Amino acid sequence: MPMLGLGTWQNDDHDQCAESVRTALERGYRHVDTAQAYGNEAAVGEGLAAADVDREDVFLATKVWNSNLAHDDVLESTEASLSKLGVDAVDLLYVHWPAGAYDPEGTLSAFDELYEQGKIRNVGVSNFEPHHVETAVETLEAPLFANQVEMHPFLQQAELRDHASEHDYELVAYSPLARGGVFDDDVLSAIADDHGVSEAQVSLAWLRESGVTAIPKATGEAHIRDNLASLDLELSDDEVARIDAIEHTERRVDPGFGPDSWA
Ligand code: NAP
């Protein structure tokens, strides 16, 4: 899985979203993250088709929304996602939240069927705590590939990082720019100034150096390019330690499932 992907939550305008995806792929991104709940799978598919990049070179991920997590609904809604995305298979399909109609046996047996049929190349979960992950691993026949969770310098997820390395699955950081919060932190700004880069790049480089994949959302070309340039930024051990020492714990995504939290 490419360690930098394009996030697309709230990239709601169809043409704009398709253009963001096309631009990102043509500038060098090879990983795109969407979800049934974002309402933009068709736009993501359009951007993918328009880009001068082979489908097989792109790692495409989507997520099954909470109300579609009963066994048959997983199968039906995933078919609909594939059709909107214009692909035969996705590289990663996540359970979006362990909530709503989620039931480990029913939900995950449908994920296993899709995996067996080759319609999903990897099985993922999102917003899972360690105990949810352990139940999922025991229930699934397919390997668990990734858990996508909120992670940035203000929510460092130490317990999940240990759990992921112990149980051999990938962590994918959502809201890796703390939804804009990284621009207001003195430690990140000082490190960014020293390198002549943005705070966004510093946060993304810190995640990468922690072994975590990041999927920053970026709409226009300037942000798309800025975030991609983080792949060239190397932080010193001292800089990593200064970021590790940022102390507050702040969640930016409300897990309350209101309309504003349809992440
Ligand atoms: P984010 O990536 O932390 O922040 C996005 C915000 O930062 C946008 O306002 C964006 O503006 C801005 N931005 C991006 N690059 C920038 C740059 N280089 N300089 C200045 N501003 C920049 O927040 P997010 O969208 O919450 O998270 C990223 C992705 O994770 C989502 O899009 C989604 O794919 C996924 N996600 C998943 C879940 C889940 O439950 N699994 C929850 C939340 C998010 P522009 O749009 O104007 O470029």
pLDDT in tens, 43-92: 999 999 999 999 999 999 999 999 999 999 999 999 999 999 999 999 99
Question: Ligand 1 pocket: which residues have CB below 6 Å?
Answer: 7-9, 33, 96, 126-127, 148, 174-180, 198, 200, 215-220, 223, 226-227, 253, 263
Per domain, the residue ranges of the chain are 6-254
Which residues belong to the active site? 38
pTM (predicted TM-score) = 0.96
Superfamily of domain 6-254 in CATH is: NADP-dependent oxidoreductase domain (3.20.20.100)
pLDDT in tens, 115-152: 999 999 999 999 999 999 999 999 999 999 999 999 99
Closest atom of ligand 1 relative to the 218 alpha carbon: 48
What is the 3 state secondary structure string of the chain?
CCCECEECCCCCCHHHHHHHHHHHHHHCCCEEECCHHHCCHHHHHHHHHHCCCCHHHCEEEEEECHHHCCHHHHHHHHHHHHHHHCCCCECEEEECCCCCCCCHHHHHHHHHHHHHCCCECCEEEECCCHHHHHHHHHHCCCCEEEEEEECECCECCHHHHHHHHHHCCEEEEECCCHHHHHHHCHHHHHHHHHHCCCHHHHHHHHHHHCCCEECCECCCHHHHHHHHHHHHCCCCHHHHHHHHCCCCCCCCCCCCCCHHHCC
**pLDDT reported for residue 258:** 46
Minimum CA distance residue for ligand 1 atom 20: 223
